[in-house]
Structure 1
Amino acid sequence: MPTQRTLEAQRLEFAQRPLIATPIAGLIAWSVVAISALFLDSYSVSIVLFIATGMIVYLGMFISKFTGEDFLSKDKPKNTFDSLFFYTVGMSFLVYAIAIPFYLIDITSLPLTVGVLTGLMWLPISWIIQHWIGVVHGVLRTLCVLVAWYLFPDSRFLAVSVVIVLLYLFAIAVLYHRWRQLQVQT
């Protein structure tokens, strides 16, 4: 009978991963939204935003095959924190129940609501990997998205997207550096 790994052992195992596949997917999705905002009207960009952000998890699953994370690998042992991560992804989908009604009232509310609400999943990641990046990304994302939304009322889709793209670039760099440091230590 195989021995069961403790939650702490599984948390440590999860934290040893690069954890960049999903942020890279988010970077791509929000970049597509930003580029679309340069050429399309608000309604068309909102459709792009719905599709692009709805595809982040699927794009992340694909990218994970190239980052060594391989979310869907059948070869690695089950890890409770993989399940928790996918629950946070589910939480991000559920927040559309807040975003959509506001979108129906004010189309330009969409980048604000989706940008902030989907950024909430970064907080549990900080706890799981015991690193500051998730809290910093989540808090900065909330504050900067809100500020950009107010400062650029005529370019909300573009301004919010640019903020999120820049924060993703920062987070990916920090996560990659963190992972490289872990590789040196082992």
Structure 2
Amino acid sequence: MPIFNRTLDEHKQDFKNRKFLAMPLAGLFAWLVVGIAGLMLPTTVMVWVLFGMTGSIVYLGMAISKWTGEDFKDRTRPKNALDQLFFLTVGQALLVYALAIPFFLVDPTSLPLSVGILTGLMWLPLTWMIDHWVGAFHAVARTLVVLVLWYAFPEHRFVAIPFAIVLLYGVTIYVLHNRKIESGNRPAPQPTH
């Protein structure tokens, strides 16, 4: 079905019926690698691990989407306007490196703060797109937790912040996996006797 022959509500219904597990699983994996590396590597190396892993989340998500049944590259699925919006939010998250890099050049330990918060903002529009609170939860909790940990653990920013983000991804994945998906195609419940 062409993209223009459907209403916004039809696009939204189709979009919110998806699993949304591939990208958060990719984010969890990337930030887990950053946290583990933070336990072992000096800051001068850690910054490159953080840049590389967080910059590759979209590509990891594309690969993982085949295993979660979401397959982002599936050309047989009807086009959906919200797919374009979602990938624009991903692009927005990548553009924030323009803020993170100048602060990183002044203070390399600012990187977990700036990248941790700014790339997490893409979760906020997802709340509207899927009519579920989990996107707002992730964005707001991530912002607050990263900010608090950045001040609370100045010597362990490359460990505390990534592991906190991993924990938030874990909660988010759990909620997404268990959320009730409202589908217009779902059969009506049968009456109990």
TMscore range, shorter length: over 0.9
1:76 matched to which residue of 2? 77
Alpha-carbon distance in 2 for matches of 1:182, 1:33:
32
Are residue 136 (structure 1) and residue 137 (structure 2) matched? Answer: yes
Deviations 1:49-89 (A, max 9, x none): 00000000000001011111111111101100000010000
Q: CA deviation at 1:184?
A: 9.2
* TM-score, scaled relative to structure 2: 0.92
Alpha-carbon distance in 1 for matches of 2:101, 2:183:
45
How much identity, in percent, do the aligned residues show? 55
Alpha-carbon distance in 2 for matches of 1:162, 1:59:
19
* TM-score, scaled relative to structure 1: 0.95
Alpha-carbon distance in 2 for matches of 1:183, 1:62:
27
Alpha-carbon distance in 2 for matches of 1:177, 1:43:
40
1:166 matched to which residue of 2? 167
Are residue 37 (structure 1) and residue 31 (structure 2) matched? Answer: no
Higher gyration radius (CA): 2
Q: CA deviation at 1:96?
A: 0.2
Structure 1 letter corresponding to 2:162: S
2:65 matched to which residue of 1? 64
Q: Secondary structure at the match of 1:49?
A: helix
Alpha-carbon distance in 1 for matches of 2:97, 2:110:
12
Q: CA deviation at 1:137?
A: 0.7
Gap regions ≥5 residues in structure 1: none
Runs of 4+ in 1 over 2 A off after TM superposition: 181-186
How many residue pairs end up in the alignment? 184
Q: CA deviation at 1:43?
A: 1.3
Alpha-carbon distance in 2 for matches of 1:159, 1:15:
32
1:108 matched to which residue of 2? 109
Alpha-carbon distance in 1 for matches of 2:117, 2:183:
35
Structure 1 letter corresponding to 2:169: Y
Gap regions ≥5 residues in structure 2: 187-193
Q: Alignment RMSD, CA only?
A: 1.6
Q: Secondary structure at the match of 2:77?
A: coil
Deviations 1:15-49 (A, max 9, x none): 00000100000000000000000100011111000
Alpha-carbon distance in 1 for matches of 2:181, 2:105:
46
Alpha-carbon distance in 1 for matches of 2:142, 2:181:
26
